[in-house]
A and B are shown apart, each in its own frame.
Chain A
Amino acid sequence: MRRALSILAHSVAIFVPVFLVATFVTFALRALSGLSPASLQLGESATPEAIAQIERQWGLDRPFLTQYLDWFGDMVTGDLGKSWYNGADISRLLVEGAAISLSVAGLALLIGVVFGFGFGVLAALRRTTWVDRAITGFMTFISVMPSFVVGIALVGVFAVGLGWFPSAGYSPAERGLGTWLAHITLPAIALSFDTVSDVARQLRAGLVAAYRENYVTGAVVRGLGPRRIFFRHVLRNGVGPALAVLGLKFPNLLGGAVVTEAIFGMAGFGQFAANSAQRGDVPAVQGVLVVSVVLVVVFNLIVNVVLARVAPASARGV
């Protein structure tokens, strides 16, 4: 327990700077883009006085650092400000979008873990046979498929062709788990390919390397059964890289939402970010980015703690 806490502290020490830098860059986006709520509300023909007045209303005439500290303070308490576009509370809009994106990303993660581990373990157990080669080849193949290509293929075959799944839209879980699953299955599959292939390849490599270790030979010589050798000796020592990859994949699952949500017409995080950005609604974009950074940081903390428990050697590196 104390070790887990010290790992947690260590990881927090790594991720606090990450969080600070990322949020600062996010905030600086407004200054970098030179956008102002006035251009959204008044259009092209606005007079300088009208622009100045609107900017004063939004507090944009204050010094940069004051604005930043204000914004940061509000953000920490969960207030992400109001949209320039329609004045709506961004935190509330994001909660709706997050439910959609997290359902899809969560299911994609689940698919990635189940199939990635399944294929990886199978390839490692049947190493150097045709099963291994077939799995390896298939993983290489799906790793070069961009998620929008997979998404289009899935829509073409399973939604338009066979009609098994709805081709677009989202239905909340409260309105029935079946329809909810039906709506998020195809996007989640499209999103998961990259994770499946990377986890499977890292896991296979890790397990095969572990099988070569002397302690495994020793266990075989001592007469231990293959099942026990696999779970006690090989899996624990070989799973590290695969788990580490999983930690790196989560940002991609969240970020990939932009593409899959566009294909499947879901009003999640990614669509919200893309639409707001194209409208020039800076606070809304900043809100999405901040929330996604928080999610990524939290997820990485969890992975680091799990990793430290399963494979203590990894704690030294982080």
Chain B
Amino acid sequence: MIRRVLRLTTGRIAFGILAAIAFLAAFGPLLAPYDPLEGTTDILANPSGAHPLGTDYLGRDVLSRLLDGSRVSVLGAVQVALLALVVGVVPGILSVYFGRAFEWVTLRLADTLIALPFLVFAVAVTALLGNGIPQAMFVVGVMVSPLFYRVARAATLSVARSQYVEAAIVAGASVGWVVRRHVWVKVLPPIAVALANTTGVGFVVVSSLTFLGIGVQPPAPTWGGVLAADLGYLSFQPWAPLVPTALIMATVWACNLLADAIRDVTGEAGRALLNTRKLDPGKVTNGSPVAP
């Protein structure tokens, strides 16, 4: 599947951007030329040879802060998406097989999570539970999990009603065997699409939270946190938000692009099940249940 995605131009662009971001997350903290926490007397300096992106209101080097903050920002989004995957997919598949009571309960839970005002809940619950990164990841991950639940459930339903699965059941196959053998293959492509989408969503949410000082508290640097610091000094440095903004938007865009590319190569099955980020004139789709 990866090879087929890479054959598309959009897939290559998305992979390129994401690879660069991953590199920042892996090595960014090592590349930082200054200590991201140490202030100097040289406050709110314009970009120069010594400070390519200038300094902030405490004289800290902005480039170092962005590089150092990249790991938390990126890993946060990935953790959110993976947690949502686990929390959503398993009940999504089981809801088809575990009887009506389980189905009803999980459907109502998914409805509830979708109906909640997302950011308010994320902020409130994270802060109440202790305002740390693990709490934030947990809360956001659970809150975006209904997307995976719905995707996995829809794919499982379509397989469960197909004739070859009925034939397998008639021939004596167990539910576990059917899930491993037939369901899993069908569920995987839409889940890959959803994973790319939720990584983008998780990224926006994590940046929003860090922007508000929730989850990661100042002075620890994050992309959202750097933006928050810029906001107070817009009249001195109106250009300052540009770089963190560009980083955040490029990452989100690459995630969406990747989702589209996976959808394109996995074809109609994935497309019919998901909210399409891309405009597909032939299909009317439902809106995304999760967006910050």
The interface residues of chain A lying within 8 Å CB-to-CB of B183 are none
Quick one: closest B residue to A279, CB to CB? B127
Interface residues of A in 27-69 (CB under 8 A from B): 29, 32-33, 35
* CB-defined contacts of B291 to chain A, threshold 8 Å: 194, 198, 252
- A289 near B131: Cβ-Cβ < 8 Å: no
Cβ of B15 under 8 Å from chain A? no
Residues in chain B near residue A108, CB distance under 8 A? none
The residue in chain A whose Cβ has the minimal distance to the Cβ of B204 is: A146
Contact between B128 and A146, CB atoms less than 8 A apart = no
Given contacts A18-B112, A273-B120, contact A152 B234 (CB under 8 A): yes
- Cβ contacts under 8 Å, B235 to chain A: 160
Any B CB within 8 A of the CB of A300: yes
- Note all chain B residues with C-beta closer than 8 A to A249: 287
**A258-B120, A259-B211 given; A29·B128 CB < 8 A:** yes
Q: Are A278 and B284 in contact (CB-based, < 8 A)?
A: no
Q: Dominant SS at the B interface?
A: helix
- Residues of B72-118 at the interface with A, using a CB-CB cut-off of 8 Å, are 108-109, 111-112, 114-118
Tell me which of B126, B127, B200, B204 has the highest count of chain A C-beta atoms within 10 A of its own C-beta.
B127
Contact with B along A122-137 (1 / 0, CB 8 A): 0000010000000010
Interchain nearest-CB distance for B219 vs A (Å): 17
Given A257-B120, A277-B127: A263 and B115 within 8 A (CB)? no
Complex CA gap A244/B275 in Å reads 12
Tally of contacts, chain A with chain B, CB under 8 A = 190
Does B252 sit at the interface, judged by CB under 8 A? yes
Q: Which residues of A contact B276 (CB under 8 A)?
A: 205
| Also in contact, A29 and B125, with CB within 8 A (given A17-B108, A198-B291) | yes
Q: Closest Cβ of chain B: how far from A13's Cβ, in Å? A: 11
What size tier do the contact residues of chain B reach? 35 or more
Judge if A186 is at the interface, Cβ distance under 8 Å.
no
Chain A proximity of B256: nearest CB distance (Å)? 6
Q: Is A297 an interface residue (CB 8 A)?
A: yes
Q: Is the CB of B249 within 8 A of A274?
A: no
Q: In whole angstroms, what is the CA distance A25 to B108 when docked?
A: 13
Q: How far is the CA of A127 from the CA of B280 in the complex (A)?
A: 12
Contact of B211 among A148, A194, A255, A257 (CB under 8 A): A148
Select which of B124, B130, B277 is within 8 A of A285 by beta carbon: B124
Residues of B within 8 A of A113 (CB): none
Within the complex, the shortest CB–CB distance from B133 to chain A, in Å, comes to 16
User: Is A109 engaged at the interface, CB distance under 8 Å to the other chain?
Assistant: no
Most buried by B among A35, A148, A249, A262: A148
**A296 with B292, Cβ < 8 A, contacts A18-B108, A29-B128, A262-B212 known:** no
Q: B218-252, CB under 8 A of A: which get 1 and which 0? A: 00000010010011001100100100010011001
Collect the chain A residues with CB atoms within 8 Å of residue B121's CB. Answer: 255, 289
- CB closest residue in chain B, given A286: B124
B40 contacts chain A at the CB level, 8 A cutoff: no
Instruction: Please tell me if A204 contacts chain B, counting CB pairs below 8 Å.
Output: yes
Does B289 belong to the interface (CB within 8 Å)? yes
> Closest CB of chain A to B3's CB: distance in Å?
26
**How far does the alpha carbon of A256 sit from the alpha carbon of B122 in the complex, in Å?**
11
Judging by beta carbons under 8 Å apart, are B117 and A149 in contact? no
Q: How far is the CA of A144 from the CA of B189 in the complex (A)?
A: 23
B118 & A252 in contact (Cβ 8 Å cutoff): yes
> Which residues from B are CB-within-8-Å of A263?
231
- B14 CB, nearest partner CB in chain A, Å: 12
Q: B252, B282, B284: which has the most chain A beta carbons within 10 Å?
A: B284
Are the CB atoms of A258 and B119 closer together than 8 Å? yes
CB of A256 within 8 A of CB of B115, answer no
The answer to whether B123 and A18 touch across the interface, beta carbons within 8 angstroms, is: no
A180, B235: Cα distance in complex, Å: 24
For A277, give its contact among B112, B124, B227, B289 (CB under 8 Å): B124
Q: Indicate if B158 sits at the interface (CB-CB under 8 A).
A: no
Is the beta-carbon distance between B238 and A156 smaller than 8 angstroms? Answer: yes
| A residues near B174, Cβ cutoff 8 Å | none
Interface pair A146/B120, CB less than 8 Å apart? no
A209/B292 in contact, CB under 8 A:
no
Complex contacts, A148 vs chain B, CB 8 Å: 207-208, 211, 224, 227
How far is B120's CA from A255's CA once the two chains are assembled, in angstroms? 5
Q: Which residues does chain B contribute within 8 Å of A32, judged by CB atoms?
A: 128-129
The listed residue (B111, B124, B281) touching A17 by CB distance below 8 A is: B111
Let me know if A155 and B128 touch, CB within 8 A.
Answer: no
Given contacts A21-B109, A258-B120, contact A248 B252 (CB under 8 A): no
Distance between Cα atoms of A241 and B291 in the complex (Å): 16
User: A-B pairs with the 6 shortest C-beta distances?
Assistant: A277-B127, A255-B117, A245-B287, A255-B119, A33-B128, A21-B112
Give 17 CB contacts A-B under 8 Å. Answer: A18-B112, A144-B249, A149-B249, A155-B234, A160-B235, A160-B238, A205-B284, A206-B284, A238-B284, A241-B284, A248-B287, A251-B118, A252-B117, A255-B122, A277-B124, A285-B124, A293-B116
